[in-house]
Amino acid sequence: MRLAGDRRLHVFADRVAAGRELARELERRALRPPLIVLGLPRGGVAVAQPVAHALHAPLDALVVRKVGMPGQPELAMGAIATGNIVVRETRPDHRWYRAGAQPRDMFERVAAAERRELERREALYRAGRPPLDLQGKTAILVDDGLATGATMIAAIRAARKADATSVIVAAPVASAEAIARVGAEADETVVLTVPEALMSIGEWYDRFEQLSDAEVTHILTRAPTENE
């Protein structure tokens, strides 16, 4: 794993501005073609759009869903991703174990609901198009921020399963914990700012409105494909 970026503390104007800064950082890298940029919906797709444009690469979405603890949905028990990828938190010191959860039953119940949402988004975002082929390509996985890294780990494993030659993770902001976890599985991790304490991703953006499904679909339908 090679961590890239100067790690300066920095607040981004919005996701598009953050994507442009990420793109400049990635343009300095010796990225092995062919490239494909994959945004993690919803917010990661908006960050990924200027990255794909700058790198002259096709853009697509890699759908992932956090499996959150009931009553505390921000607390990840794990994540799922396209391709039947399942990531479970197994660390004994993780907060959802300390909360007295019954890991297997609780996880499976929430994961089933999240899987239905994942399938809904897959069908909507694909709009009848097949997923872009990752075989033999460098996959650049983009999100608007990494808090625990659980969803990005699921995305990395999905890209590996789809036979990507190399997997690069790129995000404007991330916690040190997420960088360590993601870096153990990605070939390279590009992060622009690493706060000492990351309470929420949104605090590192001046504007951080939630994207709608319609906005994500609009970005994807306008993006060039590998056949163009």
Q: What is the secondary structure of 138-167 as a DSSP string?
A: EEEEE-S-BSSSHHHHHHHHHHHHTT-SEE
* CA separation for the pair 90, 103 (Å, rounded): 9
Residue 98 has pLDDT above 70, yes or no: no
Element (DSSP H or E) covering residue 221:
helix 213-222
How many helices (H) and strands (E) the chain has is answered by 7, 9
183-202 confidence digits (pLDDT tens): 999 999 999 999 988 989 99
Q: State the average pLDDT over residues 78-93.
A: 83
95: nearest Cα among 78, 112, 115, 114: 78
Confidence of residue 92 (pLDDT cuts 50, 70, 90): very low
9-55 confidence digits (pLDDT tens): 789 999 999 999 999 999 999 999 999 999 999 999 999 999 999 99
133-147 confidence digits (pLDDT tens): 999 999 999 999 999
Three-state SS at 187: coil
Confidence of residue 105 (pLDDT cuts 50, 70, 90): confident
DSSP letters spanning 79-112: EEETTTEEEE---TTSHHHHTT--HHHHHHHHHH
* CA separation for the pair 139, 169 (Å, rounded): 8
Distances (CA, A) of 100 to 73, 79, 88, 93, 148: 16, 19, 16, 12, 20
Percent of all residues in the chain with a pLDDT value above 70, rounded to a whole number: 88
DSSP 196: S
Three-state SS at 193: strand
40: nearest Cα among 227, 226, 219, 225: 219
Residue 1 has pLDDT above 50, yes or no: no
Residue 228 has pLDDT above 50, yes or no: no
Domains and CATH numbers, the chain: 3-64+132-222 (3.40.50.2020), 67-123 (no CATH)
212: nearest Cα among 125, 131, 113: 125
Residue 224 has pLDDT above 50, yes or no: yes
